Structure formats: C-alpha cells, structure tokens
Structure 1
Amino acid sequence: MSTEGPTSSLTEPPPRRPKVIKTNQQQVFLYVVLTLLLSLATVWGGRAMLHNSETLTFAVGAPNSDEALFAAKLATVLTSNASRFRIKIVNNADNAKALAQFDRKQADLAVLRTDAKVPLRARTLAILEHDLVLLLGPGNKKIKSIAELKKKKVAVFAESESSLAFVRSVLDIPDGPDAAKIQMAPQGATLDKLFAPANGFGAVIAIVHASRAVRDKAYEQVARRGGFTLNAIDEAKALARKLPGISSETLTAGTLSTSPKIPDDDLDTIGLEWLLVAQSRMSPTTAGELARIVYENKAALGLDNGFATRIEPASVEKDAFVIAHQGAADYINDDTKSFMDKYSDLMYLGAAALSIIGSIFAAIYAKITRIAPEKASELSTAILDIGERIEHAHSLDQLECLQDELEGILRGAVIGLRDGTISTDGLDTFKLGYEFVRDEIGMRRDYLKRHANETGKPAPGAGPAPHDDSNVVVVKTAQSA
C-alpha cells in the first residue's frame, strides 16, 4: 500500500474572517458625524423657534404725527436689519388716546412726552427728543420771572393742545377767569402776528423740539426785525424739582440765531422729554434688543423735521421720571449677558440633543450594526476539524500541510487578538484545542516515519514481503476515537 494518500481528503483551510476593526471604526465615525449634524439641526431648529418673528403693536396718534412717523421709520429699520421683530402701527385720534390704549395693555410700544399721564406699566427704552420751553417777550421787553406772566395775556405756541395744560400747570394757574389769559396760538400763526399790538399778547411761550429749534430760520428772521426777546427762566431748577417730568435745560449761545446771536450767552430754561416706552412685562431680551437697534440706527430713525435726530439712552437712575426697562438698562450699563449666559439655553438644548441622539446611535451600533470580533473559542472548531483530518494524512507532505494550516490559525489568532478582530472569549478552549491537535500531529508524524522504516526494510534471507492489507496497522487518533 502506498503511503501517498489521496489529497482530495484534505480540504482547503477555512478562509480568514475579514477584519472588522476598520468597518467598525467607519461606523463609529459615521455615527459621530450624524450625531453632530442632527444635534446642530436640533439646535438650529430650537433657535429658529426661540427667535421666531415677533410682532409688536405700536400705539401712536394721527398718521402725520411725529410719533406715527417715527414708528414707521422704526418698522423700516427693523425690516432692513433682518430683525425678528415686526411693528404693527395702530393710529389713534391723538397721542393721549394712544397712551390710553397702551395703558390697557393693547399695545407693546408707545411714545409719550413727560407732561402726559404716564401709564403705570410704562418703561423707557430710549429718549427720542427734548422739547424746549422758550419764553419770548415782544420787542426788547424783558420778562423777569414766571410770576410776572400771571398778569399777562400769554400765547402758547405749540403743536398740541396738551401744551396749554402744561403751561398753566407751570404758571400754577387753576381753572377760572385767570386761566383764560393763557391761550393756544391760532393755527398757522407766526411770531410776528402774535406780537402784533392788535392781539395784545404780552408774552409767547413756544414749546418746540430742540432739534427743530436749531434748524428753524424763522427765529433768526424775526430777531433781525427786532420782533422778540428770549428770556431766561431762572426758576428752571426749582420747577424741575417741583413738577415731575420737567427737566432743567441750558440753551447754548446762538442756538436760535447766529446773527443776531440768540441767546447771546448760555441761558437756563425748562424742557420736556419724548420717551419711547414699552410694557414692563416685555422680556428683558426683547427690550434690550430693541434698545440696541434704536441706539445703533439713530441716523436712520430721525425724521426730516428734526424729531428723534438726537436719540439718547434711557435714564437708568432709580429716581428717573419713567424708569428704564430692565433690558434697556442692562444694555446701557453693559450688563448684557455673557456668551455663556446668552446662549445657555441653546447650549443646554444642544447638550440634551447630543446626549439623546448619541445614545440612540450608540444603541444601534452596539445592538444592530456593529460587527462583533470573532470569539477565540470559535476558532477551536477549525482546529478540531484539522484534528479529524489527521488520520487521513498518509504522507509527511500531507501532514505538513495540516501543520501549516494549524500554524496559520494560530498566527491569525495572535494577529486578531492584537488588532481587535478576535476577542479573548474562549481563549482557554482555543489553547487546549491547539495543543491537543499539535501533539496529535507530532504523534502522527512519528508513526508515519516509523511505519515507513518498517515497511521499507526486508527480513534477512527473505525476498520482498508480499503485499498484505491485513498487515497494515491503522492507528486511530484519540480525536477520531
């Protein structure tokens, strides 16, 4: 019997399981990218919801009033700045009715002059304008004091009837016969006409926007004809302390006219302020953002007639006539939120989204898509398969093939343990199987060598031994047994 057995009984070594480490790393990278993208999308969506367009109702007087024109300008500025705010302008018969609407919480914004009845919940966002009280006497006649006006017929030169009540309160003239001496100037009247002897006015109190007074050339023209004298109000500071809403103002030399110079020196008078107010319930974030837009767009918000051309920050003093809104005060005092405070909501949202989405993808990877490393115990099957084929190896060459296959499995296991494609689960079983089959191959090799020597050596004095299959000793391995 030839020692060369059929090679067909030796199967090809089982193919190595493809490496999984790269595939798993690619999955992890993909899930990390998806987690970040979805978290960013969640934050962006949350930010869009938080910064959704907000419509603010602005109560104003007549459509051609200064406050109505300012509201229209503000609406345009908000649109051009791509702000989330939109302005809905609601016109009323006059500014008093607009403030009443504001007081009923039917409007978010309004403009008031400080001599008006201030709504309880009004909070200042900005000072839009100053009104100056100009005490004018005819010709060269000086008016020494406010008390002197009580004996004169006085014309109130102003745009609204509310100024008449303001002047009477300043002069401390109650309703009655004396109050009739304080009259509104006729519509379309000029200083020349008011000081005409026929009208009999001993003084004119003009209440004008400070920005408009500087531009108005009518004062200079009348002054050149010697038509009036600008008088100081020496009681300005006392009146400011006595009457809420009145401010003490100083007219610098040449404010009304440069030639002749009027006033010829700095002059004390009183004034009023026009305030942009918001409801106290408006969020500090909204109020602060509105205040910022107003302050940063002063040039665009000023009217052609001069109103609101010198916008100032709201007074943040605790004793201010109308206290500043907290959001505006924070912006003015540079107490705006830090980056962490400002974006803390979005950061918390992002952290929550990152945690939830990351947990979902981690569960998907661990339970579904992850390619688990091959267990070392699973390689024992291939080793035992080699052990079963040892008895069919009838030559040293065939046995060496099995030895190479066994060593290949061992080498692959060592490499797999190193790079993570094979886990240590069942490693003891693998070692036991490897050692058993290795020893079995050694025993089979010794047998084949010994059998080859015995069959190849003739007995002394005898011819070649006849071929007898019965003399073939079949040694079964312990595994096959």
Structure 2
Amino acid sequence: MSAEAPTPMPALPPPRARVVKSNRAQIIIFSILTLILSAATVWGGRVWLRNSETLVFAVGDANGPEARFAAKLKAVLKANSSRLRLKIVPNPDNAKALAQFDRRDAGLAILRTDAKVPPRARTIAILEHDVVLVLSPGGKKIKSLSDLKKKKIAVVGYSENSVNFVRSALEISDSPDAAQRVQQAPPNTPFDKLFASGFSAVVAIEHTSTIMKDKTYEQFAKHGGGFTLNAIDSAKALARKFPAISEETVSTGMLSSSPAIPDDDVDTIGLEWLLVAQSQVSTSTASELARVVYENKAELALDDGFASKIEPAATDKDAFIIAHPGAAQYINDDTKSFMDRYSDMMYLGAGALSVIGSIFAAIYTKITRVAPEKASELAIRILDVGERMEHAMCIDHLDELQDELETILRHAVIGLRDGTISSDGLDTFKLGYELVRDEIALRRDHLKRHPQQLEDNVVVVKAASG
C-alpha cells in the first residue's frame, strides 16, 4: 500500500481589512483655504476702500519751482503706493494757475501769501519762506523804512508780484513817480550794476533755503565792492498790519560766512509759500496728502533748496489761510499708530476670518468630518481574532494572534489619548479583549497538555513545506 501524505495544516485566515480614516488632511486643507480666502477678501476690500483718486494740480511755468515740486510729489505718491494720483496742469504763470484753482478746475495749487488768495483755499503745508533783504551799496546804511521809501529801489524776486508787494509794504502809491522809483530788476543782473545804474537800494526777495546754498552774496561781498544788509525796524508792525507778511530773521553769516554778513541777527519781513487744496477736498484725502508730504520731506526737496524745510500748516483759527481740516487732523494727531492706520483692514480681516472660518467649520462638522472611531467598533476586531483562533493548530499561530490582539489594544490606548477613538463602547471593548485573551491562554494550555497533537501538527507543517 502506498502511504498517504499528511494533509497540510491550513494557515490562519487573514484579518479583516481595516480602512483608516483621518481628519488631519481635511483640517489642514480647510485651514489653508480659510487663510487664503480671508487674505483675498482683505485685499479686495483694500482695493475697494482705496480706489485711486486723481487731484488736478495747477502750477505756473513748467520749469518753475511749483511745477518741479508737483512732479516730485507725484512721484512720491506713486512710490508710497498711495491711492492719490496727481494730474499736473502747467500755466503761463502762477497767477493763471491760481485763477484755474479759483474756478475749481484744480484741487491743488501753490501760492505765495502776497498773491490774491482764492476764498476756498485751505493750507496743507508750508513749503518755503521768502525773506526780504534790503541791500545798499558799501557802507551806506538805510536808517529806517521811511528813509527807504525815498530811494530808487530795484526789486529782485521770483514772483511777478514782488514789485507790487514792495510797494504795498512800503505804502508807496501807484503814481507814475512811484513806478519810476520801484522797478523790477532784470533777471540775473549783478548787484553792482544795479547800484551803478542809479538804484540806491536793492530789495531781494529770496527763498530762505536757497540763500543757504547761493554763493552770490559772498562773492559780491568779496569782489563786487561790498554791500550793507539793512534791518526793517518796523517788521513786527508790518506783520500785524498785513496778515500775509511774517516776521523773519536773517541769522549771522546767513548771506556770507567770510566776511560774515550779517555780523549779527537782522530783523526783517517775509512771505510764505503754501501748498493749498480746495475746501471741498475730503478730509480723508487731505489727511492722506498731508501724511505723504510730512513723512517724505527729504524726497520732496528741490535741488536748489526749495521745499527743503517743509513745515506743518498753521492750525490756529486766526491763521492767514486756515489749515484744511484733513491736514489739521493729521497734524494734531501726528502719532497715529499702526492700529489707527490699518484698523479698517484689521477689522475687515477679522470679520472675514470669522465668517469664512465658521462656514468651513460647519462644512467640516456636518459633511466632511470623519467621526472618531468608537471603542465598540474595535471590539469587533477583537472578536474577529477570537473567531480565527479555532484555526490555530500550533503555538506559532497563537503567538501571531496574541501579537494582533496587543496591537489592537495599543491602537485603542493611543486613539483614546489623541481623540481619534471615542470612549463609546469602551466597556464592550474591555470585555471582548479579556474574553479573547483568556481564550488564547486556554488554547495555549490545551496545546501544551497535548504535546502529541502539537507534534503531529508540526509534522504536518513540515510535510506541507517539503
């Protein structure tokens, strides 16, 4: 008879496949989407709130200081990403520019305080001071204002109004005789030629900042025969009488350092150059313009010195030209914090983050969220181990089932700690675990008490493998 080969012992059936579900990916995706959509909302709101506004800037001659300052301001606004834009409109002279401003065809202009001031002009900033210099040849000093009125005067100044200003300040009538005695000097005429042509005095109206860079006075003092700088003894009275006039001081050595001219501080009068806006320009627009002007003074200064010392507008109610409410608001609250400037965007961002986050949280909670696995569901896996134990025919099989049971227990402990497993059905899990653990122990004892059965199983396994 032929010997029959022993039947191989079947292997343990595999455990049921388990699909591991996690909320981590959804949480990360929803968090990223919340931040992206909130940022997009804030950006869109910023664009909507900061729609660009174009202001027409009326200036005089295209090569004059007003036009050059306007061009610099336009560039600075662009560089600072301001919502304000400038459209610069040149005119033949500054008087025409102010006429355009007066017709409300322009929102911005620059004027000197001796000009005809449009009634709706409001000051944004003081750009420059003009100082009145009363010069006489050599050591011929002019003793008083009344003494000056009697002399033939040459007027040197940037503005076409300079002659009229001098006549007004000296209270000289518009008679033909006065027209002969007070004349506009040809541009760039040396002082010595003016004195040689019969003028007893030269009244120069100069930008204060320009004088500091101009070497003309120092050169004339050294090589042109010299001159005397005369004080205006009634400067304070003139400033009170004419609101457009300001008291000024020519400090020691301001015109010439060697020789020092003047050798002591000299009182005189002056005028101011103002950046003005229409009164109907909104407060927010004027405040934004003032902020850009005051925070970018160095970038706005012209090469010749004009606007190199920009000053805040006078906010007093009795100022010659009152400050625009928007400029006054910025000047009086110059320490605006980050919260003040960007509070609107921060509130918009917080609101967008709250709303969008709530929407995604609702979607996550009600629709896409994977609920934590219940402990009772793990009990099913434990019972599956118990069902497969009836196929365990050797110690190795029992060890395999024991390892699987301990893995389930470890998974349950970790899941209860990190929240991926809920405590629902925990008693059932514990009961199932203890039941299967005891069954494995009983099965192990049974195989140990029946070693022959164990050896037969081993022989069967070896035969099957051979």
Give the match's secondary structure for 1:98: helix
Within 5 Å, which residues of 2 pair with 1:261-340? Answer: 261-280=260-279, 281-283=282-284, 285-297=287-299, 301-304=301-304, 306-326=305-325, 328-329=327-328, 332=331, 335-340=334-339
* CA distance, structure 2, for counterparts of residue 156 and residue 359 of structure 1: 74
1:337 Cα shift? 2.3
What is aligned with 2:393? Answer: none
Residue 138 to residue 32, structure 1, CA distance change in 2 (3 Å): same
* CA distance, structure 2, for counterparts of residue 376 and residue 96 of structure 1: 89
Deviations 1:290-333 (A, max 9, x none): 223432435xx2233x3233333444445433344455555555
* CA distance, structure 2, for counterparts of residue 303 and residue 374 of structure 1: 76
What is aligned with 2:155? Answer: 156
* Structure 2 residue identity aligned to 1:195: F
Give the match's secondary structure for 2:154: strand
The answer on whether the counterparts of 2:155 and 2:185 sit within 8 Å (CA) in structure 1 is: no
* CA distance, structure 1, for counterparts of residue 89 and residue 272 of structure 2: 22
1:208 Cα shift? 1.7
1:203 and 2:207 aligned:
no
Q: Which has the larger radius of gyration?
A: 1
What is aligned with 1:449? Answer: none
User: Unmatched 5+ residue regions in structure 2?
Assistant: 1-12, 391-397, 436-466
The answer on whether the counterparts of 1:209 and 1:307 sit within 8 Å (CA) in structure 2 is: yes
* Structure 2 residue identity aligned to 1:290: V
The answer on whether the counterparts of 1:35 and 1:354 sit within 8 Å (CA) in structure 2 is: yes
* Structure 1 residue identity aligned to 2:192: D
1:419 Cα shift? 6.6
1:170 Cα shift? 0.6
What's the TM-score once normalised by structure 1's chain length? 0.70
Residue 424 to residue 219, structure 1, CA distance change in 2 (3 Å): closer
What is aligned with 1:212? Answer: 210
Deviations 1:33-83 (A, max 9, x none): 321232123223433444555544321101121111222233344455565
The answer on whether the counterparts of 2:55 and 2:108 sit within 8 Å (CA) in structure 1 is: yes
Most deviating of 113-122 and 357-366: 113-122
What is aligned with 2:394? Answer: none
Deviations 1:195-251 (A, max 9, x none): 235x4x343322122233341425642675446432110001111111112111111
Give the match's secondary structure for 1:195: helix
The answer on whether the counterparts of 2:111 and 2:276 sit within 8 Å (CA) in structure 1 is: yes
Alignment RMSD: 4.5
What is aligned with 2:444? Answer: none
Residue 411 to residue 159, structure 1, CA distance change in 2 (3 Å): closer
What is aligned with 1:39? Answer: 38
What is aligned with 2:66? Answer: 67
Deviations 1:81-128 (A, max 9, x none): 565544321101211221232334433332111112333443333332
Residue 53 to residue 293, structure 1, CA distance change in 2 (3 Å): farther
Deviations 1:171-199 (A, max 9, x none): 123444454345332424443333235x4
* CA distance, structure 1, for counterparts of residue 257 and residue 424 of structure 2: 100
* CA distance, structure 1, for counterparts of residue 78 and residue 373 of structure 2: 63
What's the TM-score once normalised by structure 2's chain length? 0.72
What is aligned with 1:166? Answer: 165
What is aligned with 2:192? Answer: 192
Identity level (%): 61
* CA distance, structure 2, for counterparts of residue 79 and residue 413 of structure 1: 61
The answer on whether the counterparts of 1:417 and 1:424 sit within 8 Å (CA) in structure 2 is: yes
The answer on whether the counterparts of 1:139 and 1:228 sit within 8 Å (CA) in structure 2 is: yes
* Structure 1 residue identity aligned to 2:302: G
What is aligned with 1:453? Answer: none
Give the match's secondary structure for 1:343: helix
1:334 Cα shift? 5.8
* CA distance, structure 2, for counterparts of residue 354 and residue 80 of structure 1: 30
1:346 Cα shift? 0.9
* CA distance, structure 1, for counterparts of residue 224 and residue 354 of structure 2: 81
* CA distance, structure 1, for counterparts of residue 321 and residue 292 of structure 2: 17
Most deviating of 36-45 and 344-353: 36-45
What is aligned with 2:237? Answer: 238
Most deviating of 330-339 and 288-297: 330-339
* CA distance, structure 2, for counterparts of residue 262 and residue 411 of structure 1: 99
The answer on whether the counterparts of 2:221 and 2:259 sit within 8 Å (CA) in structure 1 is: no
* CA distance, structure 2, for counterparts of residue 374 and residue 219 of structure 1: 93
Residue 295 to residue 275, structure 1, CA distance change in 2 (3 Å): same
1:256 and 2:267 aligned:
no
The answer on whether the counterparts of 1:35 and 1:358 sit within 8 Å (CA) in structure 2 is: yes
The answer on whether the counterparts of 2:144 and 2:232 sit within 8 Å (CA) in structure 1 is: yes
Residue 312 to residue 292, structure 1, CA distance change in 2 (3 Å): closer
Deviations 1:242-277 (A, max 9, x none): 111211111123333345443232211111111223
* CA distance, structure 1, for counterparts of residue 419 and residue 19 of structure 2: 12
* Structure 1 residue identity aligned to 2:276: V
* CA distance, structure 2, for counterparts of residue 196 and residue 379 of structure 1: 114
* CA distance, structure 1, for counterparts of residue 146 and residue 420 of structure 2: 102
What is aligned with 2:113? Answer: 114
Within 5 Å, which residues of 2 pair with 1:15-54? Answer: 15=16, 18-20=19-21, 23-51=22-50, 54=53
* CA distance, structure 1, for counterparts of residue 150 and residue 162 of structure 2: 20
* CA distance, structure 2, for counterparts of residue 79 and residue 29 of structure 1: 39
* CA distance, structure 1, for counterparts of residue 309 and residue 233 of structure 2: 26
* CA distance, structure 2, for counterparts of residue 175 and residue 204 of structure 1: 19
* CA distance, structure 1, for counterparts of residue 306 and residue 109 of structure 2: 15
Most deviating of 236-245 and 336-345: 336-345
* Structure 1 residue identity aligned to 2:206: V
The answer on whether the counterparts of 2:135 and 2:201 sit within 8 Å (CA) in structure 1 is: yes
The answer on whether the counterparts of 1:220 and 1:260 sit within 8 Å (CA) in structure 2 is: no
